[in-house]
Structure formats: C-alpha cells, structure tokens
Amino acid sequence: MQPNDKKKLSQNADQLLQGLIFKEVLKRSITSLKFSKNRLFILIGFFIAFFNLYLFVFTKHINGIEHTLTIVENVTTFSITILAVLITGYAIFQALATGSTLYNLVKTKQGSVSYFMRYNDYFFSVSLLYLSVIVLNFLLFIFLNGIPVNWSLPFYCTNGNNTIYSFLMSLYIILILNSLFELKSFIFNLYSVFSTNAAIAAINKANESDE
C-alpha cells in the first residue's frame, strides 16, 4: 500500500468512526436527500395538477375521510414492502462492500466524505424516509378512524374545507411521489457499488494472470 493511500484510508476511517452519533448521521443523511431543480419543478407541477383535480373534480364526487383512509392504507402497505426491499438492498451493499471493494470505497472521496460514507448515509436516509412515511400513516390512520366520515372544520364553509383538503392531500401525494423518486437514486447507488465490485474483481483477476 502506498503511503498516500494509507494516509487517505486512515483519515476516512477516522471520519467514519467519529461520525457514529445519531444526530450527526441524521444531519448528513438529510443533506443527501436534496432536491434537484428538475425534480422540484416536476413536484411543483404535480402539486398544481393534483390540487386542481381535488378542488374542482374529486371533492364533488368523493367522501374526503373515506377516500383519504383508503389512500393511507394502500400507501402504508406499499411503504412496508419498499422498506423490506431497502433493507434487502442494504444487505446486498454490505455483501458487495468487502475486501478490495471496501478498501476503494473507503479510500476514495466524493467531496468531503468517502464513497462508502456517502452510500452508507444514503441507504440510512432512504430507509428512514420510508419509516417516517409509515409512522405518519399510522398517525393519520388513528386520526381518520376517530372522526365521523362527514366531519369538517366548523369555522370554514364547504368551499373553504374543500380548499384546505385539496391542499393537504396534494401535499401528502407530493411527499409520497418524492419518496418514490428517491428509489431511483437508491437503485443507482446499488448499481454503482456492483459496478465497482465487478471492476475491482476484473483488475485483480488480470493482475493474477500477469503474475
């Protein structure tokens, strides 16, 4: 091992160990979920579309409480399945990130942190995101089951209630859509680790053949 590589490896390993505090990991993980401009524009477009659909179409034909309860139940089922997939994906990451692959991921930096820390934090953040969705849905399920199906805010007229409902439902759907968009990055990170593992295995095999 070259002295420079040994220094990099030691520094990045120290960074990994020093960052094992929940608040620090949470802070790093949240920053890894930044919106791109394209995604932000797409989400804003979806929000406007769903808001208008709910306000001018859906609220005239549905019962808001029953409709929301159905969506929450379906999203909960879907989120639990996705969380299981994420945990499986993280297990695959752990299986791939061994030996020479682990050495290169820890040694090489992207910005201020190693690739290993970046990938590790991202898997944590996406898993935490879906866990948060499940907890939110659990709280919504309790609330929606505890109120009458014809319940509305008493200080607002029908149009006011419909506007507030349309806004909140659109916001909820955007949250779920953003969670789905994060799966793209999750899959890409797994692909990157697999490609790194394959490339290093091929290089090692070529070096063995030369010897």
Domain ranges, ordered by start, for the chain: 49-196
DSSP string, 26-62: HHHHHHTTPPPHHHHHHHHHHHHHHHHHHHHTGGGTS
Distance (Å, whole) CA 64 – CA 174: 18
Q: Over range 194-209, report the average pLDDT.
A: 74
Radius of gyration of the chain (CA): 23
Instruction: Write down the pLDDT at residue 37.
Output: 85
List, for residues 34-50, the tens digit of each pLDDT value.
777 888 999 999 999 99
Whether this prediction's pTM lies above 0.95 is answered by no
Find residue 110's DSSP bridge partners: 113
